[in-house]
Structure 1
Amino acid sequence: MQGRMRGLGARAMRIGLCSAGLALLGGVVAIAPAQAKGPGTEVKITRNAQGIPTIEADDYRGLGYGYAYAFAEDNLCTLADTYVTVSAQRSRYFGPGAESPDGFSNLDSDFFFQRIKDRGIVEELVAEKPPTGPKRKIGEVVKGYVAGYNRWLKRTGVDNITDPACSGAEWVRPITRMDAYRRFYQLTEFASGGIAMDGIAQAQPPGAAAPRGGASARRDSGAGGEEPAGTAGVTRDRVEKLGAALDLGGLGSNGWGLGREATENRSGMVLANPHFPWGGSERFYQSHLVIPGKVDVSGASLFGSPVILIGHTQNLAWTHTVSTAFRFVPMELKLVPGDPTSYLVDGQPAKMEANQVTVQARQPDGSLAPVTRTLYTSRYGPIINSLQGQELFAWTPTTAYTMFDSNAHNLGRLMNHFFETNTAQSTKELLAILRKYQGIPWVNTMAADSKGRALYADIGTMPNVPNSKATGCAGALGALTFETLGLPLLDGSRSECAPGTDPDSAAPGIFGPSQQPYMSRRDYVANSNDSYWLTNPEFPLEGYARIIGDERTERSLRTRLGLIMIEQRLAGEDGYQGDRFTRNQLRRIEFNDRLYGGELFSSQIASFCAAHPTLVGSAGPVNVSGACPVLANYDDHVDLDSAGAILFRRFMSNLGSPPFTTPFDVVDPVHTPAGLDTSDPEVGAALADAVTDLQGAGIPLDARLGDYQYVVRDGDRIPIHGGPGPQGAFNVITADWDPPAGYPEVTHGSSFVMVTSFGKNGEGCPRDRSILTYSQSTNPNSKYFDDQTKMYSQKKWVDPPFCAGQVKRTAKHVEVLRAK
């Protein structure tokens, strides 16, 4: 969302704020609160210059109340839209055919979430007792969270919301506890049920009328738009398309945990660098949560999550990266002859559960009309006909497909994990939490503590499918998906082929923690979204099921650059002082904006260019001679002043997977493959097309990155450094090519970036620096709408307060509320 007519900052009205006096403190105006009066728990919200709230309460209900109240003030419209989604009302308010934030049609989204509501799935999970159900303190936080959100909304009034995205909107309403829990469940299902949204909503038996209205633009049958007759014609190309679609939109992260042998002060240090969307509900929000004597945690959360997901306590810091592990498995059902809604298990027929689901859809004249579909469920999970719009799973008279979703019952364990992590003080304690709950739904964990111990783990919820089962229970399609993607597709007609359960599994159907990768080190652990294998190249992790990730295979350019930067630092070969990390060095390394693709290829392509001044591109011969000196002088970075960065990016984008002269070597996986094979005609064509791209857009071949990669906020053009991860940028910024503007809007990339270190043996305050690249607020009329974005552009960092003295010293605004 971009700014329009930005006002004088956040609304002056402070709901529930007691009378307060203004005090001039060191030239800064702050609000000095008097004692709040009335029933309920006192909650104090103290904001620093960037609007980061420290929320202090006496109990968990007050903590949830304060979090939601502060959050609603900054981001209500985006979150209110999310509650429309999880309550299955997008078609009611926005029409059935429009695209939902998930990328599917509103109608398919509504059927997906209405099915969850009709089956009472979230209610059932919330009612379970711990450890599978949420602990009591979580229930208290949620009660307070709902009350705080609703309190802000009631006192402000929908018509008085200053964000034009929802001011006066009929879809903004008070929320319930189940709304809040359904948002948590939506996040749990992000990489499993959520990727089959249209596949669940549109799966119909053969002969049934096609679902009407709201077909997803994502859907790709691979057969000229016609419904495929079966899976016999599924090719490797279509399976590879499925693999690309399952990439979660390119979401990723970098995460490092540095131990005592890698840091100057012999204490732990963490780099958190998630690459997440710059818009929508998967943005991060930064806060500091305090219950004296119980909770003291700082960091960031995805919207609608009143708990720190990436952050630190007094003695422990942790982060996450998107894991390679699949969190679901499709299963092939053999149908009973003549009955396409019955299937066979061990020779015995079983009837699918049929659920009539109805949603209300807005019509072109503004009226509402019910739309009803029958959705089907097997003993393993919902019937599907696609994943991420890829229609590989046709429902025929003989075969249907269903999804085993390992996260389908993972709500309480997920919440218990993070709430306990928010009070953990060591990597040992964190590892015990990971093993106890296995609640992590789709990410790796990297951490370090004040004792100088570093931890990596991909311990969480994933289907228990060892390699032997993946191959022994696969048909033709399953053999292809497992060979190509590592995704098992199992025979649902044999009960022995269902995901198993280990003695130490936290839930049925998932691997136990003893079968999942982890590593505890005193030097370092690192992950940039490849598998666990090279967490530390000196000690590769091997021997795990392929559904978790690949081993002994080529790593991405971004992974390799991250490991090389660690390698160079510890060898003292990166130009910085010493041979261990300091906090300031880690910050500079994070934003050094090296591009490994440039380091590998730019000099070669410059020489090739000089030797071939005319190359054949997609539209014919192109004079590329003007590009040769630009490439020769390119600095191999994605800094704002990197001349030639746009040209090199277009070359790499057109080239796709580079042809190498030196192949991958498992003995040297960090430095291979290498060398650009310029004899491959695709190389010359990619360069010719890059020159054509820029000339056609009117962009100089030597254009600086900062002139063509930017965002516009409140009419201000803010240049953005960083670049594409697949091209070897560590500081990832993803933006769509939009000539002649260039790359004028960031879609996702570096979001919440945190560098945290500790005093030796935990002495003093944790030493923390962070930046929230897109800023705290989505409201263009908030003073927290773009302030950190401008700081990020200049490679500046925020010093977020943690200890009580820091909170008091950096306070710019204080509110005292009563959580009723």
Structure 2
Amino acid sequence: MKRLAKILGILAAVIAVVAVINIAANSQWWAQQESIAAPETEYDVVIHRDSWGVPHILGETDADASFGLAYAHAEDDFATIQELIATARGRAGELTGAPGAGQDYVWHLFDVSADVEARYETDISPEARAVIEAYADGLNLYASEHPEELRLRGLFPVSGQDIATGFAFTSPFFFGIDRTLGALVASEDPPRAGERANERGSNAFAVAPSRNPDGATMLVVNSHQPWTGPVAWYEAHMTSNEGLDVMGGLFPGAPVPLIGHNRTIGWANTVNRPDLIDVYELTLNEDGDAYRFDGEWLPLESRRIWLHVRMGPLVLPVPETVYRSVHGPVIVNDNGAFAIRYGGIGEIRQVEQYYRLTRATNFEEWQEVMRMQAIPATNFIYADAEGHIARFYNARFPNRAEGYDWRGVLPGDTSDTLWTENAPFEQIPFLIDPEAGYIFDANSTPWIATAAEDNLDPADYSALLGIETNETNRMMRIVELMTDIGPIDWPALREIKYDMGYSQQSAAGSYLRQIAGLNFEPGEMSDAQQLLAEWDWNLDGEGRADALAAAILRSVMMAAYRGDPLPDPQLTFAGAVHFLRDNHGRIDPPLSEVLRLRRGDTDVAITGGPDALRAVYWGEPQDGVFVGNAGDSYIMEITWNSEGAVSARSVHQFGAATTRPDSRHYADQVPMFAAMEMKPTWFDADDLEANIVCTYRPGETAETADGTPCPR
């Protein structure tokens, strides 16, 4: 027994030592001891910060400007950028635990890094590679100067291939592949459409000179995104002496703005959800290591991988196996083996297409860039200085064969279902310069995007494309508000964009009618039912029933948006009533007490709601109130006057220093955003000059005009 006790004691001591080493090696402290070399390449770039903290970056070349953008963004949000890099390396689990490990599993499953490694030098142009690699160098410089902010050892230096991999890996998530993967991993049937599982939505409007009383062209950029995290917007202005001059919004890890405008063209993005994902059921042999295809047995490729998962202070290795067939990634579950193929599979040029968009100068050049189709999904709403407006239902549609149910699970034993080419560009819905003079989009079917007589005819497009037919409340409200509208100036367009109403033809209408039909005994529930019957169908904060309606619609509108079954009306209604009574002592508190926007010490009321044009979403209540966390975020109004000169206004839901609580720009735009007001962007150098607060080069001390340290 003494010998056994001694052995167990030694074993416990060894385990303890290993645990201590593991904790130390994976601690942030250890990461901060790492010495990161500054990049050897020299870049010629200056960063101007305006009075709102927005960076205006001037480089000698486009690559210089990208270097400066990376450095400026790292100053404002280095923590999130590091998460993006970890995701692009398949190391997210080391930072965020189980959720990140799930991403790492998909990273290995898709094997995007192998595609990038194989084709980075051949598929991406030298000009785009220079921009991508300069961006990586900007991050490396910041990391070398700020080791105290490093979160994970071995993450730097970053390469251009890491940036390209990050874009290629995340692209299919924008058209719903996470829902397909989630269902298959859980041994459930995959969804029958490209449905997304989150609140990413968007609005966009374009108005031609023919509808504006001053002959101006107008464009509203209004993407709906989470307010924090890897797909939260950041505003920047990039210029170079090579001709780059673009301002707009971008995500962490992006070397150029993804939405916005240059001198002569502008574009907005809205998420679309065409059916770009096909699932194939494989027929396996008895050993499970081969599948039948065209009468032959082909080996089922398999690779052993290790997921490194943070569990408290420890990071533990977890073994998994990933599979692949000729179709693409394969998931083996309780029901069999299922292969996945999706639009844009193997594509790595997403960053290049965005970069080329920033350099396009007219409609013809913009269309030529769009022909790349490297961005596999996402609508583009376009406007330009010449007065052109357009809505392009951008998607990398598979060229599918007739005779199969492409929204269901396909037979994986025949090459007849294995598409290898894309549908021709000309088959994609493209609405150009409608006679009505306006275009809109609200994550809805492309068949409703302007006046009824100018809409595209769905009969002209193949059903094999899998084009969505859904109609959001936002789309319905636009149609209701723009029917019979006269001249469209900015006040008229803003009234539509910031509308907080709900169409009675939407999911909200049918759902509330079900609640109205419920039978209650006299009392609190019947009183609440009567209150709801008086609601004016608008979450503008002016009605007694607004808080009750908001509490009901939160889960209802998101379920409708995703295509999920709606929750039980009686349970939802009762939950809303009890929530208001328990937390506010009444069923009719002002919406201003219930719906809030909080950032740091700033806490203000906000109006709007889920799937309203003034979109606001929230999660579980905090301290008895709903705290917005997504929806309207970075908003931009762009105008080309009758002479073709461009100007713009914008607002961010928080401010430029998105994750820097000590900065004065951490929440300085919150009151303006809540009040639905905007600031000038100072796109022209002459306008910017008087509003520059500080100027510096990356790596140098930021100073004001009189040489004092820059207030950040």
- TM-score above 0.5, yes or no: yes
C-alpha distance in 1, partners of 2:324/2:510?
Answer: 57
Q: TM-score, normalised by structure 1?
A: 0.72
2:496–2:613 contact (8 Å) kept in structure 1: no
C-alpha distance in 2, partners of 1:654/1:184?
Answer: 30
Equivalent residue number for residue 546 of structure 2: 645
How far does residue 650 in structure 1 lie from its aligned partner after superposition?
3.1
Q: 2:681 aligns with which of 767, 787, 800?
A: 800
How far does residue 529 in structure 1 lie from its aligned partner after superposition?
0.9
Equivalent residue number for residue 530 of structure 1: 444
Which region of structure 1 is more displaced relative to structure 2, 631-640 or 75-84?
631-640
Q: 1:445 aligns with which of 374, 380, 398?
A: 380
Higher relative contact order structure (alpha carbons within 8 Å, sequence separation ≥ 6): 1
Equivalent residue number for residue 655 of structure 2: 775
Which letter maps to 1:291? Answer: S
Q: Within 5 A, what are the aligned runs for 1:315-354?
A: 315-336=264-285, 338-354=286-302
How far does residue 299 in structure 1 lie from its aligned partner after superposition?
0.6
**Aligned-residue RMSD, C-alpha:** 3.5
How far does residue 363 in structure 1 lie from its aligned partner after superposition?
6.4
SS of alignment partner, residue 344 of structure 1: strand
Equivalent residue number for residue 540 of structure 1: 455
C-alpha distance in 2, partners of 1:43/1:430?
Answer: 27
C-alpha distance in 2, partners of 1:196/1:123?
Answer: 28
Describe the shift of the 1:810–1:174 C-alpha distance in structure 2 as closer, same or farther (beyond 3 A): same
Structure 2: runs of 5 or more not aligned? 1-39, 561-566, 701-712
C-alpha distance in 2, partners of 1:713/1:257?
Answer: 32
C-alpha distance in 2, partners of 1:769/1:344?
Answer: 58
Equivalent residue number for residue 433 of structure 2: 521
How far does residue 654 in structure 1 lie from its aligned partner after superposition?
7.5
Equivalent residue number for residue 591 of structure 1: 498
What per-residue deviation string (whole Å, max 9, x for no partner) do you get for residues 611-665 of structure 1?
A: x9x943xxx8753454367446644322345542111123445777999xxxxxx
How far does residue 321 in structure 1 lie from its aligned partner after superposition?
0.8
Equivalent residue number for residue 206 of structure 1: none
Equivalent residue number for residue 708 of structure 2: none
How far does residue 251 in structure 1 lie from its aligned partner after superposition?
1.4
SS of alignment partner, residue 289 of structure 2: strand
1:647–1:702 contact (8 Å) kept in structure 2: yes
2:47–2:57 contact (8 Å) kept in structure 1: yes
Q: 1:411 aligns with which of 348, 351, 355?
A: 348
Question: Does structure 1 residue 371 correspond to structure 2 residue 308?
Answer: no
C-alpha distance in 2, partners of 1:401/1:748?
Answer: 34
Which letter maps to 2:147? Answer: V
How far does residue 409 in structure 1 lie from its aligned partner after superposition?
1.8
What per-residue deviation string (whole Å, max 9, x for no partner) do you get for residues 471-492 of structure 1?
A: x234xxxxxxx5xxxx253322
Describe the shift of the 1:329–1:90 C-alpha distance in structure 2 as closer, same or farther (beyond 3 A): same
Query: Higher helix proportion, which one?
Result: 2
What per-residue deviation string (whole Å, max 9, x for no partner) do you get for residues 145-164 of structure 1?
A: 11111212222x232x4xxx
Equivalent residue number for residue 49 of structure 1: 51
Question: Does structure 1 residue 140 correspond to structure 2 residue 130?
Answer: yes
2:541–2:590 contact (8 Å) kept in structure 1: yes
Describe the shift of the 1:806–1:511 C-alpha distance in structure 2 as closer, same or farther (beyond 3 A): same
1:40–1:818 contact (8 Å) kept in structure 2: no
How far does residue 184 in structure 1 lie from its aligned partner after superposition?
1.8
C-alpha distance in 2, partners of 1:595/1:440?
Answer: 32
Which letter maps to 1:581? Answer: I
SS of alignment partner, residue 288 of structure 1: strand
Equivalent residue number for residue 226 of structure 1: none
How far does residue 187 in structure 1 lie from its aligned partner after superposition?
2.9
Q: Within 5 A, what are the aligned runs for 1:241-252?
A: 242=191, 246-252=195-201
SS of alignment partner, residue 560 of structure 1: helix
Q: 1:561 aligns with which of 472, 477, 498?
A: 477
Q: Within 5 A, what are the aligned runs for 1:586-665?
A: 586-597=493-504, 615-616=519-520, 622-627=523-528, 630-631=531-532, 634-652=535-553
Describe the shift of the 1:718–1:363 C-alpha distance in structure 2 as closer, same or farther (beyond 3 A): closer
Question: Does structure 1 residue 81 correspond to structure 2 residue 83?
Answer: yes
Equivalent residue number for residue 173 of structure 2: 190
How far does residue 394 in structure 1 lie from its aligned partner after superposition?
4.4
Q: 1:496 aligns with which of 399, 406, 416?
A: 416
How far does residue 178 in structure 1 lie from its aligned partner after superposition?
2.6
How far does residue 75 in structure 1 lie from its aligned partner after superposition?
0.3
1:602–1:634 contact (8 Å) kept in structure 2: no
C-alpha distance in 1, partners of 2:284/2:42?
Answer: 59
How far does residue 249 in structure 1 lie from its aligned partner after superposition?
1.0
Equivalent residue number for residue 238 of structure 2: 289
Describe the shift of the 1:735–1:90 C-alpha distance in structure 2 as closer, same or farther (beyond 3 A): same
Q: Within 5 A, what are the aligned runs for 1:226-265?
A: 242=191, 246-265=195-214
Which letter maps to 1:747? Answer: N
What per-residue deviation string (whole Å, max 9, x for no partner) do you get for residues 574-629 of structure 1?
A: xxxxx2222343234322433335999899979997xx9x943xxx8753454367
Describe the shift of the 1:740–1:64 C-alpha distance in structure 2 as closer, same or farther (beyond 3 A): closer
Which region of structure 1 is more displaced relative to structure 2, 168-177 or 595-604?
595-604
SS of alignment partner, residue 319 of structure 2: strand
Which letter maps to 1:355? Answer: R
How far does residue 175 in structure 1 lie from its aligned partner after superposition?
2.1
Equivalent residue number for residue 62 of structure 1: 64
Equivalent residue number for residue 301 of structure 1: 250
What percentage of residue pairs aligned between the two structures are identical?
A: 22
Question: Does structure 1 residue 753 correspond to structure 2 residue 668?
Answer: no
Describe the shift of the 1:627–1:365 C-alpha distance in structure 2 as closer, same or farther (beyond 3 A): closer
1:269–1:448 contact (8 Å) kept in structure 2: yes
How far does residue 383 in structure 1 lie from its aligned partner after superposition?
0.4
Structure 1: runs of 5 or more not aligned? 1-37, 101-105, 204-218, 223-237, 386-392, 475-481, 500-507, 573-578, 660-680
2:176–2:197 contact (8 Å) kept in structure 1: no
> How many residue pairs align between the two structures?
649
SS of alignment partner, residue 673 of structure 2: helix
Describe the shift of the 1:535–1:747 C-alpha distance in structure 2 as closer, same or farther (beyond 3 A): same
1:583–1:756 contact (8 Å) kept in structure 2: no
1:615–1:621 contact (8 Å) kept in structure 2: no
Equivalent residue number for residue 791 of structure 1: 672
C-alpha distance in 2, partners of 1:82/1:308?
Answer: 16
